[in-house]
Amino acid sequence: MPLLLLVAGSAAVAAAGRRVPVPVPLLLVAAGLAVSYVPGVPDYTLDPHIVLPLLLPPLLYTAATDSSYLDLRAQARPVALLSVGYVLFATFVVGGAAYLIVPGLPLTAALVLGAVVAPPDAVAATAVARRVGLPSRITTILQGESLVNDATAITAFKVALAAAVGEGATWAGGIGEFLIAAVGGVGVGLVLMVPLHWLRTHLTEALLQNTLSLLIPFVAYAVAEQVHASGVLAVVVVALYLGHRAWEVDFATRLQEEAVWKMVAFVLESAVFALIGLQLPVVLKGLGEYEGTDAAWYALALFLVVAVARFVWVYPATFLPRLSARVRAREGDLSWKGPFVIGWAGMRGVVSLAIAFSIPMTVHGGEPFPERNLILFLTFTTVIGTLVVQGVSLPPLIRLLKFPAHDVRAETLAEANAQAQASRVAEQRLDDLLADERNTLPAPLADRLRTVLERRRNAVWERLGQVNPVTGETVDDTYRRLSREMISAEREVFVRLRDGRYIDDEMLRTLLRRLDLEEAAAYRETT
């Protein structure tokens, strides 16, 4: 029952949040904080054995399939510098700062904390990028960073943790472990992606294909982790490949898959942010000597270190490579605005909390892990601080910086030209097919095929036309509205015939699905 209430409540808050200007992730966190102190609400402790293998893979999968492999490849350098270089830099800087700020905190435990809070969150970055409409290059860099940085952070955490609990880990060994995990994760993804895609294209039913789609991220993650490789990288590699070749899957699978993964992402993202807020009572327990002003000071200082350290890394990592004439020629002029937004967009999230909760209670020898509860508290406050301060201020900051708006007309012209080329090829293909006597069609049906093709070709060009002087609608808006009115009228007739028992429910469902596909096609043609 608590799990059902969590999912239902977080979904309700997320749905309501879409109607207000406040970022939805922040509303969910605030709701979780408020609900955590309602009498009778149980403590929700983030179990890393659930969050990492069960929540992280599908969230990474849906984010990666929505990303562009070609865009990520074009931005490989900044993505690598952030997802690997920045995470390791933040681990040492934040860990060193924590060691100096918190009296009695061992350096190894401080580095554990640094690794925990180092990676910006994939869910938070994607959610904010979608909401505020960032320029495509910045969005690609943030998404690419958030897809890979968890693998770096988890490996750095394992190395620091081994040293903290007394397993005698060395940084040389840690670098070797990181390379093995990274190469192994990519290797597992490369091995799995082709057979998984083959299965997707050879299963004959959309239901089976979508069942496979739901299993893919868990399979890739589990296989990689089983061989001590990075499950995160395995999921990302597989998802990027499948997303890049999604056009080879039949249309029914794509229609269902889009709806299914939108629902999965909505539910998981909503529950994840609500869970962050619900952790407050858990992390406040056992602070002991650090309660009160000391804990607040440590939290504020660590938040400032995290925020400043990102800028310290982002600007040199952005502009130093541009000392190369080849890089400048390839990337063109670059202002300070883009790196500033990237630096300010480093929100932390549920992965940091999940990693923190995986810290063991004791070290080798049975002694308590040094300042474990304080590490949990500082992780929580850093996550909340970045979500509140940066999450709230990022949209107005982007508006203040006045990034160039998307050139809608240029994008529409590009779409229209692409559609025109495709239509010419399709028309030639139709002529070739109709010339074969095996494909003979009555003239009305052949004309109908040509009419559908012509309507699809003209629909994009019509979006460049004038608006209706009476209604203010564009041509495509009017077309969409009239199409829906006609389909709605047909739908009402079908339902009335079913109610009068002229047709049965099975036939009604068949007829309604046909109308649904036509309505979806009308919507796609004009958006």
The whole-angstrom separation of Cα 239 and Cα 219 is 12
Which has more pLDDT, 395 or 263?
263
- What are the pLDDT digits (tens) for 190-234? 999 999 999 998 887 888 888 999 999 999 999 999 998 999 999
Confidence of residue 304 (pLDDT cuts 50, 70, 90): very high
d(CA 210, CA 215): 9
> What pLDDT sits at residue 114?
96
* H-type alpha helices, 36-117: 48-50, 56-65, 69-74, 76-80, 87-101, 107-117
Coil vs helix vs strand at 362:
strand
pLDDT score, position 526 = 45
Q: How confident is the model at residue 295 (pLDDT cuts 50, 70, 90)?
A: confident
Whether pLDDT at 20 is above 70:
yes
- pLDDT given at position 432: 86
Confidence of residue 379 (pLDDT cuts 50, 70, 90): very high
**Cα 427 to chain centroid, rounded:** 38
State yes or no: pLDDT of 525 exceeds 60: no
φ and ψ at 362, to 5 degrees? -135, 160
Q: What is the pLDDT of residue 408?
A: 65
Calpha distance 362→344 (Å, rounded): 36
Confidence grade of residue 527 (pLDDT, cut at 50, 70, 90) = very low
- b/e per residue, 286-298, with b = 16+ CB within 10 A? ebeebeeeebeeb
Calculate the alpha carbon distances from 158 to 126, 152, 163, 298, 358 in Å: 26, 10, 9, 24, 10
Q: What is the pLDDT of residue 122?
A: 60
Among candidate residues 258, 251, 241, the one with its CA nearest the CA of residue 198: 241
What are the sequence ranges of the domains in the chain?
2-401, 407-464, 466-527
Confidence of residue 91 (pLDDT cuts 50, 70, 90): very high
Closest CA to 118 of 377, 386, 358: 386
Question: Residue 12: which of 254, 274, 356, 204 has the closest Cα?
Answer: 274
> Quick one: 307 exposed, middle or buried, by C-beta within 10 A (0-12, 13-18, 19+)?
middle
Q: Which of 23, 382, 351, 419 is nearest to 157 (CA)?
A: 351
Question: pTM for the whole thing?
Answer: 0.84
> Which of residues 37 and 182 earns the better pLDDT score?
182
Round to whole Å and give the CA distance between 320 and 318: 6
Average pLDDT over residues 173-199: 90
At the top level of CATH, which class does the domain 2-401 belong to?
A: mainly alpha
Q: How far apart are the first and last CA of the chain?
A: 41
Best CA proximity match to 286, nearest among 385, 371, 164, 383: 371
Check residue 195 and give its pLDDT.
96
Main-chain dihedrals φ then ψ at residue 207, nearest 5 degrees? -65, -45
Q: Are 46 and 354 in contact (CB under 8 A)?
A: yes
What does the alpha-carbon distance between residue 290 and residue 374 come to, in Å, rounded to a whole number? 7
Identify the CA nearest to 95 among candidates 86, 85, 80, 106: 106
Residue 169, helix vs strand vs coil: coil
Window from 136-140, 146-150, 290-294 with minimum mean pLDDT = 290-294
Separation between Cα atoms, residue 397 and residue 309, nearest integer Å: 19
Per-residue pLDDT tens digits for 95-147: 999 999 998 899 999 999 999 999 988 666 666 666 666 777 888 898 899 88
Mapped onto helix, strand or coil, the DSSP state of residue 316 is helix
- Is pLDDT of 7 > 50? yes
Helices (H) and strands (E) in the chain, counts: 25, 0
Enumerate the β-bridge partners of residue 368: 362
362: which strand partners? 368
Give the number of other CB atoms < 10 A from CB of residue 454.
12
Report how far apart, in Å, the C-alpha atoms of 447 and of each of 32, 427, 442, 514, 518 are: 58, 12, 9, 21, 18
Query: pLDDT category, 241, cuts 50, 70, 90?
Result: very high
Please, what's the largest Cα pairwise distance for the chain?
88
377 touches 300 (CB < 8 A) = no
Q: Could you tell me which of 314, 327, 283, 261 has the C-alpha nearest to residue 145?
A: 314
Contact 277, 32 (CB under 8 A): yes
pLDDT at residue 273 is higher than 70: yes
pLDDT tens, position by position, 323-349: 887 887 777 777 888 899 999 988 888
DSSP state of 404: P
Asked whether residue 13 carries a pLDDT value surpassing 50, the answer given is yes
**Among candidate residues 56, 68, 62, 75, the one with its CA nearest the CA of residue 153:** 56
The model's pLDDT over 446-463, given as tens digits with 9 standing for 90+, comes to 888 888 778 777 777 766
As a whole number, mean pLDDT of residues 468-481 equals 73
